[in-house]
Structure 1
Amino acid sequence: MLLTCHDVRKTFGANLVLDNLGLAVGEHEVVALIGASGSGKSTLLRCINLLTEIDDGTISLDDEDITDPRANPDLVRRKIGLVFQSYNLFPHRTVLDNITLAPVRVHGRSPADARDQATEWLDRVGLADKAKAYPDRLSGGQQQRVAIVRALVNEPRLLLLDEVTSALDPELVGEVLTMIRNLKSDGMTMLIATHEMGFARQVADRVAFLDRGRVLEEGPPAQVLGDPVEARTRQFLARIIEAGRL
């Protein structure tokens, strides 16, 4: 497995957020994390990217325990891309500058190589004409695609996506989801926290339902979303259906 989470536990004060959680993601696999707000999806992604320290358990990437205190977080993060629901683009920098900043300053690439790679990615996602634009001149969907490209130029082994469509107007969601589908076709390994059940059904190889900090049920999308075993999963999906989101 590319990623393995074993008995991961995380508390914030008296609040138990991750409760001995176990999850594995194979190379080139796309796993969708679903569950109610507060179930632990975003915290899990932050723990995998070492932005949040776990209290117990292990997280391994390529069979290396990245939660070992001796692990170098900066080296680990070079292998993992994380994109948040808020775009977090630097407003005073152009699209091209936003994308090339980390490759040049953190990874030591030459500015010319970083620009070439960024330009290639922008062309692939239909944003080549926005290279010199500032973020406030872009739509929400365009900004989110730039944020994803910013993670991809570092050539991560694993891409983490945290509700990347939740801040978008409904008509802009499709362009981001199309980009993620294309990344799946390219073989990118992804762990995606999402409320887009239809998207999870279409793009995920596996769906994991989180409840109270545990993976309560996981399996192929058709099974988990269409014929769930656990009563709590059925209850969650019933509410999603009532809201018209499945």
Structure 2
Amino acid sequence: MDVLTCRGLRKEFGDHVVLDGLDLTVGEHQVVALIGASGSGKSTLLRCVNLLEDLDDGVIELDGEDISDPRVDPDRVRRRIGMVFQSYNLFPHLSVLENITLAPIRVHRRPRAEAEAQARELLDRMGLGEKAHAYPDRLSGGQQQRVAMARALANSPRLMLLDEVTSALDPELVGEVLSMIRDLKADGMTMVLATHEMGFAREVADQVCFLDGGRVVEAGPPEQVLGDPTHPRTRQFLKRIIEAGRL
């Protein structure tokens, strides 16, 4: 079964077309990596899937349900989607434990004890069990990003969206977050991730999609798209990546 289907997505900001008839399909337990230059539409696509941006045209389906229908309650949809941003977006006035349990308690109406038990389990899994009562400003960037991932996972999402989750990290902290994504893949989590980490995309993705001008211009297995691309624009992009020593 396809978990996510996007057909003909179009998104404009004024006169600027960010998504231009984009199509994407993500199967169950599949990891899809979105690559492309800045401004190619990767982050906007993820924000549209999570209903943080309104579409100008097109259809988004989650497990066959048209979630882009204006009559759909976006809060209900977001309960089935976890999203992690590049800037963490943790609440600074709440402890790590409070950040993770906020939505399960207030939105999903789960008992506090149950939500906290799950949060502690997630923190232990991420090597942050001793940080439950710490505040975000006491954590490293890598630790904050892992807390953000735990917060997204606390709602048991059907789909995880990861938007350049390592771009704000110091290089030595990137590995911590990538290790967690590997673990999620091993658990069978369905994920769409926008990334500049080409080596990681080659390792973890089932499918790599190269975006250019708001469209998926090439898609396929990592070894094909990253190793033997067929589209001239993909080849040009990867040539620059290789010259920069990032692949």
TM-score band, normalised by shorter chain: over 0.9
Equivalences for residues 151-162 of structure 1 within 5 A = 151-162=152-163
Partner SS state of residue 238, structure 1: helix
Question: Which position in structure 1 is the counterpart of 2:164?
Answer: 163
Deviation at 1:92, TM superposition (A): 1.2
| AA matched with 1:145 | R
Question: Which position in structure 2 is the counterpart of 1:61?
Answer: 62
| AA matched with 1:6 | R
Question: Which position in structure 2 is the counterpart of 1:34?
Answer: 35
Deviation at 1:21, TM superposition (A): 0.3
CA deviations 1:179-211 (Å, max 9, x no partner) are 000000000000000000000000000000000
Partner SS state of residue 207, structure 1: strand
Q: Report the Cα distance in structure 2 between the residues aligned to 1:47 and 1:155, rounded to whole angstroms.
A: 20
TM-score normalised per structure 2: 0.99
Question: Which position in structure 1 is the counterpart of 2:140?
Answer: 139
Question: Which position in structure 2 is the counterpart of 1:94?
Answer: 95
Q: Report the Cα distance in structure 2 between the residues aligned to 1:136 and 1:11, rounded to whole angstroms.
A: 36
Q: Report the Cα distance in structure 1 between the residues aligned to 2:67 and 2:93, rounded to whole angstroms.
A: 34
Question: Which position in structure 1 is the counterpart of 2:218?
Answer: 217
Q: Report the Cα distance in structure 2 between the residues aligned to 1:129 and 1:174, rounded to whole angstroms.
A: 20
Q: Report the Cα distance in structure 2 between the residues aligned to 1:16 and 1:161, rounded to whole angstroms.
A: 23
Q: Aligned residues, how many?
A: 246
Question: Which position in structure 1 is the counterpart of 2:183?
Answer: 182
Partner SS state of residue 226, structure 2: helix
Deviation at 1:243, TM superposition (A): 1.1
Question: Which position in structure 2 is the counterpart of 1:124?
Answer: 125
Deviation at 1:126, TM superposition (A): 0.6
Q: CA RMSD in A?
A: 0.5
Matched, 1:17 2:46: no
Equivalences for residues 63-82 of structure 1 within 5 A = 63-82=64-83
Deviation at 1:235, TM superposition (A): 0.4
Question: Which position in structure 1 is the counterpart of 2:150?
Answer: 149
| AA matched with 1:141 | G
CA deviations 1:142-170 (Å, max 9, x no partner) are 00000000000000000000000000000
| AA matched with 1:211 | D
Deviation at 1:106, TM superposition (A): 1.0
Deviation at 1:119, TM superposition (A): 0.4
Matched, 1:206 2:172: no
Q: Gaps spanning 5+ residues in structure 1: where?
A: none
TM-score normalised per structure 1: 0.99
Partner SS state of residue 179, structure 1: helix
Q: Report the Cα distance in structure 1 between the residues aligned to 2:53 and 2:175, rounded to whole angstroms.
A: 31
Deviation at 1:242, TM superposition (A): 1.1
Partner SS state of residue 88, structure 2: coil
| AA matched with 1:98 | N
Write out the 4+ residue segments of structure 1 that deviate beyond 2 Å after TM superposition.
none
Partner SS state of residue 239, structure 1: helix
Deviation at 1:214, TM superposition (A): 0.2
| AA matched with 2:169 | L
Question: Which position in structure 2 is the counterpart of 1:105?
Answer: 106
Deviation at 1:69, TM superposition (A): 1.2
Q: Report the Cα distance in structure 1 between the residues aligned to 2:173 and 2:245, rounded to whole angstroms.
A: 18
